[in-house]
Amino acid sequence: MSEETSAEGDHRRASIMTALREGVRRVDDLALACGVSTMTIRRDLQVLERRNEIRRVRGGAVPVDAWTFDHRLGRSAAAKDAIAAKLLTLVPDKGGIGFDGSTTVHRLARRLKEQPTLDLTAVTTGFETFHELSRTPGCRAYATGGTADPHTGSLVGPLAEVTLRQFALHTCFLSATHLDGSVGSTEFTADEAAVKRVLAAVSERTVLAVDSSKLARRAVATCLSLDEVDVLVSDLDPGDDRLEPYRGLVEII
């Protein structure tokens, strides 16, 4: 496997994209933010440029259409596949489940067709996830109303929140922009965070799925504290040291 397609490379380039969205532009600053050499950053920027995810500028780079769903879906693919396999074991055979509009949780929706017998009602804030769920045998799919978040495309706002409050769910599956041991999960927008809080509030169990590139970092809007999360699912082995800040606070898978 080449460095370009390795899980480690995927995670590192996801971290670079996150830093770029947060306003970091220069190669030296990206190297500091990601904890790697400037030579590694330059190689990763070449990969991202070939994928049309960034545009090179003097001394650094800027993101290109960084928030489109298709671009996000292709990032950290190996990590998201590993997470989806774990999430599949947490899906009940029947009852109500909730999905946010993230690409990580979307991968779980794709895999639900692997379950032999389902009797599920599923509600989601994601257009693409709704389309996957609506084609899944044994699953009655609902999409919330609302307006599209300008950064993620997920449905947010009062209409989305009112729709979600009509459900009493067994489990909700959420992702996050970042996860920090002190403040919990965070999002790039307050609207996105608000909708995810409602999903958690109407669910008996909240499952948070984040790949390792999102750990130990913070975005601008606080969402869920760790005591509001029941299960943390990552692409890492549960014994990995990077999960130490969350150990004892949530179940780790």
Asked if the structure places residue 129 within a domain, the reply is yes
At what angle are helices 38-50 and 7-21 packed, to 10 degrees?
Answer: 90
Asked if the structure places residue 240 within a domain, the reply is yes
Structural domain count of the chain: 2
Q: Residues 49, 82: one domain?
A: no
Asked if the structure places residue 204 within a domain, the reply is yes
Question: For the chain, where are the alpha helices, taking DSSP H only?
Answer: 7-21, 27-34, 38-50, 69-74, 77-88, 103-111, 127-134, 158-164, 190-201
What's the pLDDT score for residue 195? 97
Asked if the structure places residue 246 within a domain, the reply is yes
**Contact in structure between 194 and 146 (CB atoms under 8 Å):** no
Per the structure block, which two tokens stand in for 34? 């990601």
Q: Residues 106, 160: one domain?
A: yes
What's the pLDDT score for residue 191? 93
What's the pLDDT score for residue 3? 53
**Contact in structure between 109 and 99 (CB atoms under 8 Å):** yes
Pick out the chain residues at pLDDT < 70: 1-5, 64-76, 150
Classify each residue of 65-95 as buried b or exposed e, where b means 16 or more C-beta atoms within 10 Å of its C-beta. ebeebebbbebbebbbebbbebbeebbeeee
What's the pLDDT score for residue 140? 95
Radius of gyration of the CA atoms of the chain, in A = 18
Q: Residues 144, 225: one domain?
A: yes
The sign one gets for the Cα dihedral 190, 195, 198, 204 is negative
Asked if the structure places residue 22 within a domain, the reply is yes
CATH number at residue 136: 3.40.50.1360
Per the structure block, which two tokens stand in for 216? 């130990």
What's the pLDDT score for residue 25? 84
Q: Residues 126, 161: one domain?
A: yes
What's the pLDDT score for residue 51? 79
Residue numbers of the domain that contains 9: 3-66
**Contact in structure between 45 and 16 (CB atoms under 8 Å):** yes
Per the structure block, which two tokens stand in for 9? 């490379």
* Helix and strand totals (H; E) in the chain: 9, 14
Phi, psi of 195 (to 5 degrees): -65, -40
Last residue of a domain, one of 46, 66, 86: 66
Q: Residues 56, 121: one domain?
A: no
CATH number at residue 43: 1.10.10.10
Token look-up 């997470």 returns: 83
The closest of 161, 179, 172 to 222, measured between CA atoms, is: 179
Q: Residues 41, 60: one domain?
A: yes
Q: Residues 94, 59: one domain?
A: no
Burial, 217: exposed, middle or buried (Cβ in 10 Å; 0-12, 13-18, 19+)? middle
Last residue of a domain, one of 16, 38, 66: 66
Q: Residues 102, 198: one domain?
A: yes
Q: Residues 96, 50: one domain?
A: no
Asked if the structure places residue 58 within a domain, the reply is yes
What's the pLDDT score for residue 215? 93
Q: Residues 209, 87: one domain?
A: yes
Asked if the structure places residue 149 within a domain, the reply is yes
**Contact in structure between 99 and 121 (CB atoms under 8 Å):** no
User: Model pTM?
Assistant: 0.75
Asked if the structure places residue 71 within a domain, the reply is no
Distance of CA 109 to the CA centre of its chain: 13
Phi, psi of 22 (to 5 degrees): -85, 5
Q: Residues 104, 225: one domain?
A: yes
What's the pLDDT score for residue 1? 43
Last residue of a domain, one of 44, 66, 88: 66
Q: Residues 229, 112: one domain?
A: yes
